[in-house]
Amino acid sequence: MPTTVVDGLTVNLSGPPTQPPSVVTLSSGQQAEFTFEYSDVPTGSETQCASSATVTVTPPGATTASARVPLTMAPCNNGTVEVSPVYAATAG
Rounded to whole angstroms, how far apart are CA atoms 10 and 86? 11
The model's pLDDT over 14-42, given as tens digits with 9 standing for 90+, comes to: 555 556 667 778 888 888 888 888 999 99
pLDDT at 12: 53
Instruction: Classify burial at 75, counting beta carbons within 10 Å of its beta carbon; exposed 0-12, middle 13-18, buried 19 or more.
Output: buried
> Can you tell me the distance from the alpha carbon of 32 to that of 89, in angstroms, rounded to the nearest whole number?
5
Backbone angles phi, psi at 61, to 5 degrees: 85, -10
CA 35 to CA 46: how far, in whole Å?
A: 25
Q: Amino acid identity of 5?
A: V
The count of other CB atoms within 10 Å of the CB of residue 45 is 5
Better-predicted residue by pLDDT, 70 or 16:
70
Is the model's pTM score more than 0.75? Answer: no
